[in-house]
């Protein structure tokens, strides 16, 4: 009978510890809401860049149509940075 009571107490204790651990993990995640919108990013990982630099330009297509675009680059200390997705581009003017 004592062994049965001890085994039940151990199972109850393990269940209580697991419940507390799950509650603490959930509370920690809920405290830091995840936001991923243009200009806002929090709750996923540390920010690598301090800001961004925006450049608006026109691209002239072969039929003469001018296509407007915005180029937004991440910055560190107000200097545009090349990230790990950077690829050198060669533009040939004709």
Q: What is the pLDDT of residues 18-74, one digit of tens each?
A: 999 888 887 766 666 788 888 777 777 777 788 888 999 999 999 999 999 998 888
pTM for the structure as a whole? 0.41
Measure Cα distances from 73 to 20, 49, 79 in Å.
Answer: 44, 10, 9
Mean pLDDT across 75-80: 82
Which pLDDT score is estimated for 60?
A: 95
Residue spans of the domains in the chain: they are 49-94
CA dihedral 70, 73, 74, 76 (to 10 degrees): -120
Tell whether the model's pLDDT for residue 2 goes beyond 90: no
């Amino acid at each position: 009978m004592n062994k049965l009571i001890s085994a039940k107490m151990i199972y109850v204790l393990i269940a209580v510890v697991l419940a507390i651990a799950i509650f603490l993990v959930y509370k920690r995640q809920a405290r830091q809401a995840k936001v991923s919108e243009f200009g806002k990013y929090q709750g996923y990982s540390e920010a690598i860049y301090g800001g961004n630099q925006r450049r608006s330009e026109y691209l002239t297509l072969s039929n003469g149509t001018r296509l407007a675009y915005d180029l937004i680059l991440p910055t560190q200390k107000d200097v545009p940075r090349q990230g790990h997705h950077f690829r050198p581009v060669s533009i040939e003017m004709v």
